[in-house]
Amino acid sequence: MKKVVIYSTPTCTYCKMAKEFFTDNKVSFEEYNVASDLERRKEMVDKSGQMGVPVIDIGGEIIVGYDKPTIVKALGL
């Protein structure tokens, strides 16, 4: 299984949807709260060029937003 990292904020609806998708599909993931973790926020922007969340890193493939078809493809589900 590829390593999955999600950069999110506590109030982000699409972040919650992505995390629920991972949980429902038994995909383990690391979550970073970029609202409070400035170092991880910088890392997210460096990886994606984006300030919006969620930013999802699946095995080095960067997905901006909750793009379910792209997430499914990247995970090989």
pLDDT(1) > 80 = no
CATH number for 37 = 3.40.30.10
Span 60-77, pLDDT tens digits: 999 999 999 999 999 998
Is the entire prediction scored with pTM above 0.85?
yes
**Residue with structure tokens 């493809």?**
73
What is each CA distance from 71 to 22, 23, 37, 77, in whole angstroms? 10, 13, 24, 9
Span 32-65, pLDDT tens digits: 999 999 999 999 999 999 999 999 999 999 999 9
What pLDDT does residue 34 have?
97
Span 3-22, pLDDT tens digits: 999 999 999 999 999 999 99
How many domains, the chain? 1
What pLDDT does residue 76 have?
92
| Enclosing domain of residue 46 | 4-75
